Amino acid sequence: MGNNSSDKIKTYQEQLYIDNTVRLREIIATLPSFSKDFFRAIEPTTSAKTRISYAYDIRVFFRFLLDNNPYYKNKAMDDFTVKDLERLESVDIEEYMEFLKVYRSDDNQMLTNGEKGLSRKMSALRSFYAYYYKRQIIEKNPTLLVDMPKLHEKAIIRLDTDEVALLLDFVENCGDQLTGQAKVYYEKTKYRDLAILTLLLGTGIRVSECVGLDVLDVDFKNNGIKVTRKGGNEMVVYFGEEVRGAIQRYLDNTRNLMRPLPGHENALFLSTQKKRMGVQAVENMVKKYARQVTPNKKITPHKLRSTYGTALYKETGDIYLVADVLGHKDVNTTKKHYAAIDENRRKQAASAVKLRES
């Protein structure tokens, strides 16, 4: 008898796809029924994660109308039709934007949105409207009459070179300061945590790419790891000797001695529960160590990615290489983040232009 496909161990990406698809269906079921068409239409050009966040954001919009718009006072989510979209005026959209700044969630939590959150929620609503407008299902699109929130550039937080060394040294040696249960846990996870931090700092991969790695994705012959990038493309990212050494030590001292739980046999990075580590576990681990070394900087795995991108750009001056290695589809994203960091070149500008010949 042939193997049933459900018997085969699913890859991290396959399992993620199943989980996200189920989650998306659950949220869409709580939206007006006509919304399904929009999500079906954007499926080929968006990731499941994007569609999930759009679904949440669009649900906030409809709940806002039910709770705050007198016209919908005694209506329910199922009563909305696509024609309700064109019944609204630009002032209704502006009221929604104002509402988004501070509002209560379903479970009565007080939520706030800064520039970025506001912009994301408005982008979701604009895309939603654009779908029905483009197909001439509605005749007007009030979201086009409302200005999008202005986004201000924020300084990129990253670790300085000496802070990178301090962080890795701290993880390597902080066991001396620990006792009891904390020390036992530290000894269990030391090589794993060092391998993850060294890998993130030495390759700039995303935390989602890191937790998705399988043991067989590491190629010591060519010093490369096979990662699945945003959008599903596979790519080999190469690493140096420090990363190689850290992964090898983790495999020899920790990973190869563990017996993972069923379904997690292939995972490179395992939790103490012998399951594949999740994104949040890595985020918490990074925060835990970074807090001790750089208390004034809020360091996340993404900041370690920025640290790598900065270092690579400073060493090579090649923005296209940085974009390629980081897996940015658009080099302008990279330019925005890293091309502005070259303080020395900016200082050169001060003396480059002569106003009067001396």
Task: For residue 44, give both structure tokens.
Answer: 């080929």
Mean pLDDT check: name the lowest of 27-36, 212-221, 327-336. 327-336
Is position 230 annotated as part of the catalytic site? yes
Short-list 296, 295, 294, 323, CA closest to 308? 323
Under 8 Å between Cβ of 210 and 200: yes
Q: Which of 158, 206, 276, 303 is catalytic?
A: 206
Instruction: Kindly state the percentage of the chain with pLDDT values over 90.
Output: 70
Q: Which of 305, 308, 313, 337 is catalytic?
A: 305
Res. 1: pLDDT tops 70: no
Residue type at 13? Q
Short-list 166, 127, 131, CA closest to 37? 131
Is position 126 annotated as part of the catalytic site? no
Is position 338 annotated as part of the catalytic site? yes
Task: For residue 354, give both structure tokens.
Answer: 């002569």
Q: What domains appear along the chain, each with residue ranges and CATH number?
A: 12-145 (1.10.150.130), 161-339 (1.10.443.10)
Is position 302 annotated as part of the catalytic site? yes
Q: Which of 10, 302, 314, 335 is catalytic?
A: 302
Q: Which of 121, 303, 328, 337 is catalytic?
A: 328
Short-list 334, 293, 292, 52, CA closest to 163? 293
Is position 305 annotated as part of the catalytic site? yes
For residue 50, what pLDDT is reported? 92
pLDDT band at 347 (very low <50, low <70, confident <90, very high): low
Pairwise pLDDT comparison (230 vs 225), residue with the higher score: 225
pLDDT band at 5 (very low <50, low <70, confident <90, very high): very low
Tell me the per-residue pLDDT of 275-298, one tens digit each, with 9 for 90 and over. 999 999 999 999 999 999 999 999
Q: Which of 63, 226, 230, 335 is catalytic?
A: 230
**DSSP alpha helices (H): ranges in the chain?**
12-28, 35-42, 48-68, 83-87, 90-100, 115-134, 161-173, 180-203, 207-211, 241-253, 279-293, 301-316, 319-326, 331-338, 343-352
Residue 71, Cβ neighbours under 10 Å: how many? Answer: 11
Q: What is the mean pLDDT of residues 129-135?
A: 97
Instruction: Give the Cα separation of 171 and 246 in Å (integer).
Output: 12
Res. 186: pLDDT tops 90: yes
Is position 336 annotated as part of the catalytic site? no
